[in-house]
Amino acid sequence: MARLVTKFKYLKPDQEKPIGGYATYIATREGVEKIDESFKLAPATVKQQKLIEKLLRDFPDSATMLEYEDYQREKTVGVASEFITRAIEDNAHEILNQKTYADYIGTRPGAERFGSHGLFTDDGVQVKLKEVSQELNAHQGNVWTLIISLRREDAERLGFNTGIRWRDMLRTQTQALADSLKIPMDHLKWYAAFHNESHHPHIHLLAYSTVENEGFLTKQGVAKMRSSLAKDIFEQDLLCIYEKQTVQRDELRLHSKELIAEIVSRINAGTYDNPKVEEMLLRLADRLSKTKGKKVYGYLKADVKALVDAIVDELAADEKIAALYNLWYEQKEEALQVYTETLPQRVPLSQNKEFKPIKNAVIQEAMGLHADRQDVEEPAQADAPDPEMPEAPESDSQADDPIEPDPPPAFRSYSGGRGRKKDTWWTDEYKAARAFLYGTKTSKPDFEQALAALKKEALRGNGFAMHDLGKMALAELGCEKDEEQAQEWFRKAFSAFCAREPKEEKPGYLRYRIGKMYAFGYGVDQNYLKAAEWYGKSVAEGNPFAAYALGSLYHRGQGVDQDEEKAFDLFTMAATDENKPNAYAQYELGRMCRDGIGTAPDQAASEQWYSRAYQGFLEIEQNMADDKLYYRLGQMNLTGTGTKKDPDQARTYFEKAAELGNADAMYGLGKLYLSRDFSGRDVKKAIDYLMGAAGKDHDYAMYTLGKLFLEGKEIPKNPEYALRWLEEAVEKENPYAEYLLGKTLLQGVDLPQNIPRAVSLLERAVSRNNPYAAYALGKALLEGTVLLQDLPRAMELLAFSADRGFSAAQYLLGKVFSNGELCPKNIPRAIHYLTRAAERDHEYAQYLLGKLYLADEGIPKDANAALYWFTRAADQGNVYAAQLLQSVHSNRNWSAALGSLRLLQHLARIIQNRIEDERKGGKGGIDRKLKRKIDEKKQAHGLKQG
């Protein structure tokens, strides 16, 4: 039985039964028989049983009362008395004269009083019982009565056990009451009284219009009022129904939600082989082509509507759609059972007004088909989603700042040339200080000892010691970070290097060190041009370290024109030096051979160079404990570069580097502990390491933290923290942070929209060669939704991104050139961009490329190429490609096959949305539901949502 029982009746004006008596009755009822508590448990008396039989004959609807349900379960004196009282009370206007009835309800024992009687109405309106009674007696129109009853346990649990709670609730229902009775608010009058019965607390309510013959109550009005009352009274319980707040209900609801998501996922991930739907779609397309006027369901002829309905019913016959539809009905019925026993009969999906949008979607699909040729339009639902936020690259901030090499033997003993032996900087004292600074294979660095020893050497004029002291102050090694102090030591070192360089017989090593100080801005203004000049002088003397450093400048185009071939040659010189083969140069050669940079791609050579680099780093490790070296070894073990992939060994090296304060290693550990492929995955440790790296101004750690807080996948979502970390990374000119913050501010989803700042950030990221930013800004300018459309700039940005290998931009350009909507159709250019994206395994590019080869439009038809790309896309899970392959192999119209699949997916989404709407209940539902309906209408008519 329903948990909320309501009875709606109306009283006609009748002088023999004055309506005012009813008001007095509900306000002042008394005379209920007192029964000693001990007698309540005795069996119902014969007199009670006979009276109950008579009441049921005279008033059959009394059988729906909660009290009668209790009586059937427990036929005692007390329960029988409750039912008799309620049955007489509910029908008192038929049994008693109206005045007696009104007196009875209002003042009987159990009626809660607000003063001398129990009547109440709207806030601020004084209720004078005598005047109300007289007014009702004089009223010539209908008066509607409503009785609302709860079980005692529900009333206690929900707080509806006092008249004040009922009064406050009814005052919020005034608009709903007026709407249900079709009475304008300013004409509505109502009065109510609360009766606090032991078993079933309830209220009596009267309502009427001040304008005679105004107002009427329909079945729909009754249902609407019941629903409104139930949502208010059972608000928390309805939330339980929708969200299942108890453990058992949580599990049930979670299972339901997961089941729905699983069904929709299966639909989205699978094909749909239904020749009947395809044939009906083609027939509908033919009928619509001969139909004049609006191609909207409501305007179509009956036979065309019937065909649309048949298509919907055939779609609904799919077992997955049927399961979804059944879940929707179950949830809706669960909510309805709160206030009604009689559930509405289930109807076929095609006849359900809730799902009307699918009919217009069917029409739109059919209109896009042509029985005599294959459709080449890109389906809206087959479009590629935006790429996810990029992962920050592995940090290589130290790649160009390797450990300072030992000077060549000649430099260690001689200075000034001419065969004169002089004091050298490479003293035993300096070598001991250097051992404290870098440590050895058997001993860790001792920065305090290093600091003291290096200061002694610096006081003796040792330029190397001065330089090392600058690096210690900069890197917080044995002292607090002090950039000013660091630069002071660097200036002294630079002066010492420059003073000594002209005196050297073989100054190549010092020239390399001077060039490096210009490159890093140590003691001088950063100047890549001068760095390149000094490196060049050193390279001319055969210095392999200078060759590596100069190669790095050519690789990046810093101080020299970018020249990858020149960089490759210089790296080769450094890597193949007989005395000191440079492991860092070997590493760079491995990367260049792998990617075909400055040389032809050569995987075998790449692996060889990487392996030599790894062995070289291991040799260096034998003699020192250096954080940068540990980090590089950890990175190579993590990626399987030059050695087998070993995440555990990577962690070991990263931890050694992190203990020495290496921010890159902390960042690497943070990403490693976040990885779902790592057996030791630990999100808490990951965040701790990322925080540590960010505390050392590591901009990629800041970006990663901002991304994590923005996504809310690994840690609780916190836009405020996300903004903080992204802003800090932006201050460090991190292009990924500029992109992510710019994109987020442009969309205005997780952070307040700020278009000027968004565009500025994205442009800055583009200036740093960030392809993600170029794609995001180009796409926004192409669509013209958030930003004013600017096609030339959009195409320029997308080309910029595509040329840097970003497959999403390549796909989008290919799509634009293939459909010819925003620019002249250019199939060869479309093929060019789509092929580049497809070769990078972009499944949607593979799918669209296959369609172009199949369509025989703009390029010669190539069925083999089409099947090749469809197969590759289908292998990646692209259901549209799989659907096309299926239709091609079965020699069916593939455009109709795609249409049937899209309709199935569209229908699944509509049902899922409806279920979610019902689950969320009425909280903010008007705006949400309105937006959903608008989106569905747009979708049904082939328009962009949002």
Segment of 135-139, 149-153, 832-836 carrying the highest mean pLDDT? 832-836
Coil, strand or helix: which one is 200? coil
Range of lowest pLDDT (349-353, 408-412, 439-443): 408-412
Q: What share of the chain is helix, strand, coil (3-state, %, to 5)?
A: 65, 5, 30
Q: Give the pLDDT band (50/70/90) at residue 918.
A: low
- What percent of the chain lies above the pLDDT cut of 90? 39
Q: What is the rounded distance in angstroms from the CA atom of residue 38 to the CA atom of residue 77?
A: 10
Most distant CA pair in the chain: distance in Å? 139
CA 671 to chain centre: 21
Per-residue pLDDT, averaged over 607-624, amounts to: 92
Check residue 392 and give its pLDDT: 56
Check residue 906 and give its pLDDT: 74
Element (H or E) spanning 99, and its range? Answer: helix 98-107
Q: Give the pLDDT band (50/70/90) at residue 888.
A: low
Has residue 350 got a pLDDT over 90? no
Please state the pTM of the whole predicted model: 0.57
Q: What is the rounded distance in angstroms from the CA atom of residue 496 to the CA atom of residue 230?
A: 88
Range of lowest pLDDT (177-186, 290-299, 598-607): 290-299
Q: Give the pLDDT band (50/70/90) at residue 382.
A: very low
Q: What is the rounded distance in angstroms from the CA atom of residue 699 to the CA atom of residue 705?
A: 10
Q: What is the rounded distance in angstroms from the CA atom of residue 391 to the CA atom of residue 701?
A: 11
- The residue count of the chain comes to 946
Of 213, 227, 205, residue with least CA distance to 8: 205
Has residue 643 got a pLDDT over 90? yes
Residues 231, 922 contacting (CB under 8 angstroms): yes
Q: Which residues contact 527 (CB under 8 A, 6 or more apart)?
A: 518, 559
Q: What is the rounded distance in angstroms from the CA atom of residue 812 to the CA atom of residue 57?
A: 75
Q: Give the pLDDT band (50/70/90) at residue 28.
A: low
Has residue 198 got a pLDDT over 60? yes
Residue 185 burial (C-beta neighbours within 10 Å; 0-12, 13-18, 19+):
exposed
Check residue 423 and give its pLDDT: 66
Per-residue pLDDT, averaged over 354-373, amounts to: 71
Query: Using one digit for the tens of pLDDT, what is the confidence trace for 747-773?
Result: 998 999 999 999 999 999 999 999 999
Residue type, 525: D
Kindly state the tokens that stand for 656.
């050694």
Check residue 927 and give its pLDDT: 47
Residue 175 burial (C-beta neighbours within 10 Å; 0-12, 13-18, 19+):
exposed
CA dist 632 to 112, 156, 396, 553, 661, Å? 81, 68, 9, 20, 14
Element (H or E) spanning 414, and its range? Answer: none
Segment of 357-371, 487-501, 907-921 carrying the highest mean pLDDT? 487-501
Has residue 938 got a pLDDT over 90? no
What are phi and psi for residue 681, nearest 5 degrees? -50, 130
Q: How far apart are the two ends of the chain, measured CA to CA in Å? A: 43
Kindly state the tokens that stand for 266.
């299966």
Has residue 828 got a pLDDT over 50? yes
Domain boundaries, the chain: 4-217, 243-374+909-917, 439-659
Per-residue pLDDT, averaged over 902-922, amounts to: 70
Element (H or E) spanning 393, and its range? Answer: none
Roughly what angle, to the nearest 10 degrees, separates helices 247-269 and 235-243?
Answer: 50
CA 657 to chain centre: 35
Q: What is the rounded distance in angstroms from the CA atom of residue 430 to the CA atom of residue 459?
A: 12
Has residue 496 got a pLDDT over 70? yes
Residues 189, 141 contacting (CB under 8 angstroms): no
Per-residue pLDDT, averaged over 208-214, amounts to: 87
Range of lowest pLDDT (405-414, 421-430, 693-702): 405-414
DSSP character string of 443-460: S---HHHHHHHHHHHHHT
Q: Which residues contact 803 (CB under 8 A, 6 or more apart)?
A: none
Name the more confident of 932 and 896: 896
Q: Give the pLDDT band (50/70/90) at residue 924.
A: very low
Residues 489, 458 contacting (CB under 8 angstroms): yes
Element (H or E) spanning 203, and its range? Answer: strand 202-209
Element (H or E) spanning 11, and its range? Answer: strand 4-11
Has residue 204 got a pLDDT over 70? yes
State the chain's mean pLDDT as an integer.
Answer: 80
Per-residue pLDDT, averaged over 599-617, amounts to: 95
Residues 744, 757 contacting (CB under 8 angstroms): no
Kindly state the tokens that stand for 265.
């996922």
Q: Give the pLDDT band (50/70/90) at residue 327.
A: confident
Check residue 100 and give its pLDDT: 38
Query: Using one digit for the tens of pLDDT, what is the confidence trace for 433-451?
Result: 998 988 876 788 899 999 9
Q: Give the pLDDT band (50/70/90) at residue 321.
A: confident
Per-residue pLDDT, averaged over 160-171, amounts to: 83
**In the block, residue with structure tokens 């001319």:** 540
Strand order from edge to edge, sheet including 143-150: 4-11, 143-150, 202-209, 188-195
Per-residue pLDDT, averaged over 853-879, amounts to: 83
Per-residue pLDDT, averaged over 458-464, amounts to: 94
Q: What is the rounded distance in angstroms from the CA atom of residue 476 to the CA atom of residue 467?
A: 14
Q: What is the rounded distance in angstroms from the CA atom of residue 389 to the CA atom of residue 683?
A: 19
Beta partners for 260?
none
Has residue 112 got a pLDDT over 80? no
Range of lowest pLDDT (5-9, 162-166, 205-209, 647-651): 5-9
Q: What is the rounded distance in angstroms from the CA atom of residue 116 to the CA atom of residue 114?
A: 6
Query: Using one digit for the tens of pLDDT, what is the confidence trace for 802-818?
Result: 999 999 999 999 999 99
Residues 457, 480 contacting (CB under 8 angstroms): no
Residues 363, 284 contacting (CB under 8 angstroms): yes
Residues 96, 104 contacting (CB under 8 angstroms): yes
Residues 163, 114 contacting (CB under 8 angstroms): yes
Q: What is the rounded distance in angstroms from the CA atom of residue 42 to the CA atom of residue 24?
A: 34
CA dist 653 to 440, 516, 621, 658, 659, Å? 15, 27, 11, 9, 10
- What percent of the chain lies above the pLDDT cut of 70? 77
Q: Give the pLDDT band (50/70/90) at residue 1.
A: very low
Domain 439-659 CATH (choose: 3.30.70.20, 3.40.50.10540, 1.25.40.10, 3.60.21.10): 1.25.40.10
Query: Using one digit for the tens of pLDDT, what is the confidence trace for 233-279?
Result: 776 555 544 444 344 444 545 555 666 666 666 655 566 677 787 77
Name the more confident of 572 and 9: 572
Residue type, 612: R
Segment of 81-85, 452-456, 479-483 carrying the highest mean pLDDT? 452-456
DSSP character string of 260-303: HHHHHHHHHHS----HHHHHHHHHHHHHHHT--S--SGGGS-HH
DSSP character string of 48-89: HHHHHHHHHHH-GGGGGSHHHHHHHH--BHHHHHHHHHHHHH
Residue type, 795: M
DSSP β-ladder status, 188-195 and 4-11: unpaired
Q: What is the rounded distance in angstroms from the CA atom of residue 664 to the CA atom of residue 660?
A: 11
